[in-house]
Chains A and B, each alone.
Chain A
Amino acid sequence: MKNFLAGLLLGVILLGFGMLVYLRLGLVDVRADAPVPHWVARLLYTGIHASVRRSVSEARSPGPAGDDTLIAGGKLYLNDCVGCHGEPGKPPSEFGRTFYPPAPQFPHQGTDYSVAEVFWIAKHGIRRTGMAAQASSYTDPQLWTVATFITRMRNLPPNVVKAIQQNPAN
């Protein structure tokens, strides 16, 4: 038993030390312009979603949103998110593809996250991705409108689509 415990400790030290040496020798590939392996993507997205779910309280959501909210959120989206996340009705963003992991293309794939979760992500950002915290650029009510827009983006009332396209920069 004593030998087993000593082995356990030795294993932990070896693993930690081996990892540091591996990192220090520059053996990790740091290029962003390589495809994300399937298993890495799955692990990343599962872990991120689980952490977001744990952090977000659904109760803070301001409730059902009218067309005005969607239009306001859509304008913010067109001003500041489309560069990486893609524009509705256009092909996926070339720029968003050059991040590792790539930026999700909401107009094409939608999102699995709830409104409150999208709000939280937009406000705080996601570590170790290109997603920066937006709290220093936008107020909470603004972030709620853009979160509402993103979750409904693939299912918008036609008059909302028209209103956003008519006067995007406002």
Chain B
Amino acid sequence: MRNLLFGVLTALVLLPMGILGCFALGLTEIRSDLKPSRWESMIMGSAVRASVRRSAAGIANSATSNHETLVAGGKLYIAGCAGCHGELGKPFREEHDHFPPVPQLPHLGTQYSEPEVYWVVKHGIRMTGMSAYGPFYSEQQLWSLSAFVHQINNLPPDVRAAVVANK
């Protein structure tokens, strides 16, 4: 029994040390122009989703979205997000310059709720290319942007037309 516990303890110490050691010696691949493995995408993706859900759980949407706020959000999207997240109406192109790749929202949409999108845009996602936009947008702008992104692959035709026409 004592040997068993000793073994467990050794593993708990050696494994993290080994992983940190490999990293510090430069043995990890760091190029961002390679596709992440399916395992990595699955594990990291679900960790981010779970953390965002937990963090955004208490946030209530204070703004009501209507035609005007959706169009306003769409304009913000075109000006500030489309460069990485994809233009409306352009053909789907898998993005592999960033690691993890940037989700192409106009095609994939998002599984996050409006308050969750609001939280992500405001605070960013650590260790991805998604920076925090809290310092650059007002609360109202963040909410209209979230409303737009939430519906981006399923927009009312008149909103879509207004956003695309008025660049």
Contacts of A6 in B (CB 8 A): 4, 7
A10–B8 CB distance below 8 A: yes
Q: Is B31 at the interface (CB under 8 A from chain A)?
A: yes
With A29-B126, A33-B132, A98-B133 in contact, is A133–B32 under 8 Å at CB?
A: yes
Residues of chain A within 8 A (CB-CB) of B164 are none
Q: Is the CB of B127 within 8 A of A132?
A: no
Shortest CB distance A155–B (Å): 27
Known: A10-B7, A124-B31. Contact between A98 and B126, CB under 8 A? no
> Which residues of chain B from 5 to 63 have any CB-CB distance to chain A below 8 Å in the complex?
5-12, 15-16, 20, 23-33, 43-44, 46-55
A30 with B51: CB separation less than 8 A: yes
A114 to chain B, nearest CB (A): 15
Give the residue of A31, A95, A127, A134 whose beta carbon is less than 8 angstroms from that of B123. Answer: A31
A55 to B30, CA, bound (A): 10
Count contacts on B: residues with CB < 8 A to the other chain: 57
Nearest residue in B to A11 (C-beta to C-beta)? B11
**Contact for A23 among B4, B16, B43, B125, CB less than 8 A:** B43
* Best-surrounded residue of A23, A53, A94 (most CB of chain B within 10 A): A23
The 8 Å CB contact of A125, one of B6, B27, B32, B51, is: B32
Question: Does B79 interact with chain A (Cβ within 8 Å)?
Answer: no
B127-149 interface code vs A (CB 8 A; 1 in, 0 out): 11111111110000000000000
Q: What residue in chain A is nearest B132 (Cβ atoms)?
A: A33
Within 8 A of B (CB), among A110-142: 123-136
Cross-chain contact A8 with B10 (CB below 8 angstroms)? yes
